[in-house]
Amino acid sequence: MSFKNMTIDELIGLRDELWAKYEQKKSLNLDLSMARGKPETAQLDLSTPMLDKVRESTHFICEDGMDVRNYGVLSGITEARRFFANILDVGMDNIVIYGTASLTLMYDTVARAYIKGILGSKPWCKLDKVKFLCPVPGYDRHFTICEFFGIEMINIPMDENGPDMDMVERLVSEDESIKGIWCVPKYSNPSGIVYSDEVVRRFARLRPAAKDFRIYWDNAYFIHHLYRDNQPEILNIVTECEKAGNPDMVYEFCSTSKITFPGSGVSALAASKANIDETIKFMGAQTISHDKVNQLRHVMFLQNKEQLKEHMMKHADIMRPKFEKVLDMLEAELGDADIATWTKPLGGYFISFDAMDGCAKKIVEMCSDAGIILTDAGATYPYGNDPRDSNIRIAPSFPPLEELITACEVFIICVKIVSIDKILESKKKGYIKTNGTYYR
């Protein structure tokens, strides 16, 4: 039954029942987290055999004679470049291998543009204003990078196909100070949206006013499916940009962070040869080479695209029951309450939950008081400012299933209580609120 159709007395009675349940959960002194998309221990165990792949018996020598224990090969070992080129379907000249995580690579790519410029354009630090477009809800770390460099962020709404491309096309064509757009094109963080073919093509056909405009294509979940028989694919943005006559317009990022070990993985940048050559040139002032031992062990363990797919299905077998349990609980408890909506992703690491306007911060606060940690309300928007105070990112991956169920029970109780309070505010004539309870 819709909460909005309940009488005030019915709402007050239900709230009292829920508050008693909340206090009971609070008395358990819980300490559970659904805050960040971290793999659980069983997922990390899948990659533990990788640590034995590079040993003395391998002689640490690559196919081209490079000893991975030594300096050199700034662009990454041949085996690693071939591996990422194959899984991203680009040429080896379009790949450079980086360090442990794509977030570092994205930060450095923005930093180089800020300090040195892009392909001869003026460095951003010498410009009066630099702006980025930010599809929302989105990845908080992208927004943190922009804030760090003083880059102004502009919200771009999304639907089930991806960002509002009418808005994107208009803004980039009119404003030379817009230098980039953040994108998580597959299983977007946090919504799980997969960009449609038409959206990808429209990205590739952009005609920006700024010559140094770039699409920052964070393909973090390119192979992170939850189901073997339902795996949506997206068009190759590097290829589509080449077809559209914009070969230099995209930087595509990916990593093994949630494939093997977060923080100890390998990341890669796919881009035009001109962009790759400039990236390698600028990297030379920063490092002599990244961890080639780690690159070699990853390639020896993951081997090829087919082996990678099978490895990721083992991850999916661990993740899928958690996502399905959360979605089942949300549907059972909130499906007909008319107080929230949520996404039902086919992959990635998150569920995007939209409460009634003005409720997200209070829900997260109540959960925290009961020992359930969620990502801060507003984190999925630039500057931490969700204009509707509605969106909450749920990350089901890290807690064991039993703990996840408990966390979700508390979350649902909090959603109901805060929603009832919101509805009662609109029906409160003749009532006063004291210590969380409504009286005539």
pLDDT tens-place string over residues 210-233? 999 999 999 999 999 999 999 999
Q: Which burial class, exposed, middle or buried, applies to 257 when counting CB atoms under 10 A from its CB (0-12, 13-18, 19+)? A: buried
Query: What percent helix, strand, coil does the chain show, rounded to 5?
Result: 45, 15, 40
Which of helix, strand or coil describes residue 67? strand
Contacts of 405 (CB under 8 A, 6+ apart): 325, 329
Q: Residue 58 — very low, low, confident or very high, per pLDDT cuts 50/70/90?
A: confident
Looking at the predicted structure, is the pLDDT value of residue 109 above 80? Answer: yes
Half-sphere exposure of 397 (CA within 13 A, CB side): 23
E strand or H helix at 114: helix 102-116
Token pair in block for residue 143: 């927004």
Mark whether 119 and 236 lie in a shared domain. Answer: yes
Q: What is the mean pLDDT of residues 14-39?
A: 96
Would residue 52 count as lying in a domain?
no
**Over pLDDT 70: what percentage of the chain?**
97
Query: Which tens digit of pLDDT belongs to each residue from 319-337?
Result: 999 999 999 999 999 999 9
Q: Which residues pair with 163 in a beta bridge?
A: 158
Confidence of residue 240 (pLDDT cuts 50, 70, 90): very high
Statement to judge: residues 219 and 160 lie in one domain: yes
271 lies in the same domain as 328: no
Do 147 and 32 lie in one domain? The reply is no
DSSP class of residue 87 equals H
Number of domains in the chain: 2
Query: Do 329 and 434 fall within a single domain?
Result: yes
Q: Phi, psi (5° rounding) for residue 149?
A: -95, 5
Task: Specify the CATH number for the domain of residue 253.
Answer: 3.40.640.10
DSSP letter, residue 38: P
* Strand residues in 288-344 grouped as ranges (E): 340-342
Give tens-digit pLDDT for 402-432: 999 999 999 999 999 999 999 999 887 655 4
Domain region containing 205: 61-302
| pLDDT value of residue 431 | 55
CATH number of the domain bearing residue 19: 3.90.1150.10
* Domain's final residue, options 286, 302, 318: 302
| Stretch 236-252: mean pLDDT | 98
> Could you tell me which of 381, 386, 404, 382 has the C-alpha nearest to residue 394?
404
Provide DSSP, 162-227: EE-HHHHHHHHHH-TTEEEEEE--SS-TTT-----HHHHHHHHT---SSTT-EEEEE-TTTT-BS-
- Please tell me the predicted confidence (pLDDT) of residue 427: 80
- Residue 438 is predicted with a pLDDT of 52
- Residue range 76-86, pLDDT digits in tens: 999 999 999 99
Return phi, psi of residue 34, to 5°. Answer: -120, 35
pLDDT at 435 over 70: no
Which pLDDT value is given to residue 114?
A: 98
Give the predicted TM-score (pTM) of the model.
Answer: 0.95
The reply to whether 50 falls in a domain is no
* Residue 394, beta-bridge partner list: 351
Q: State CA 375 to chain mean position distance.
A: 12
One domain for residues 35 and 89: no
Report yes or no on 422 lying in a domain.
yes
Give dist(CA 251, CA 398) in Å, integer.
Answer: 30
Distance CA 196, CA 202 (A): 10
What is the pLDDT at residue 338? 96
Q: Is the pLDDT of residue 8 over 60?
A: yes
Q: pLDDT tier at 433 (50, 70, 90 boundaries)?
A: low
Task: Tell me the average pLDDT of the chain.
Answer: 95
Q: What is the mean pLDDT of residues 375-391?
A: 97
Q: Which of 276, 302, 328 is the last residue of a domain?
A: 302
Q: What is the pLDDT of residue 437?
A: 57
Tell me the mean pLDDT in the region 5-29.
96
Q: In the numeric block, which tokens belong to residue 109?
A: 């790519």
When pLDDT is averaged across residues 39-49 and rounded to a whole number, the result is: 97
Shared domain check, 322 and 185: no
Mean pLDDT, rounded, for 283-295: 95
207 shares a domain with 120 = yes
Q: How far apart are CA 262 and CA 256, in angstroms?
A: 8
Last residue of a domain, one of 246, 277, 302: 302
Q: Coil, strand or helix: which one is 166?
A: helix
Q: Is residue 53 part of a domain?
A: no
Q: What would the pLDDT profile of 126-183 be if each residue is shown by its tens digit?
A: 999 999 999 999 999 999 999 999 999 999 999 999 999 999 999 999 999 999 999 9
Question: What is the predicted pLDDT for the residue at 59?
Answer: 79
Residue 55 resides in a domain: no
- CB atoms near residue 321 (< 10 Å): 13
Residues 130 and 193 in one domain: yes
Q: Assess whether 273 and 361 both reside in one domain.
A: no
> Could you tell me if 94 and 234 lie in one domain?
yes
Q: Say if 86 falls within a structural domain.
A: yes
pLDDT of residue 288: 93
Q: Are residues 212 and 115 in the same domain?
A: yes
Return d(Cα 263, Cα 258) in angstroms, integer.
Answer: 9
Q: Residue 56 falls within a domain, yes or no?
A: no
In-domain check, residue 78: yes
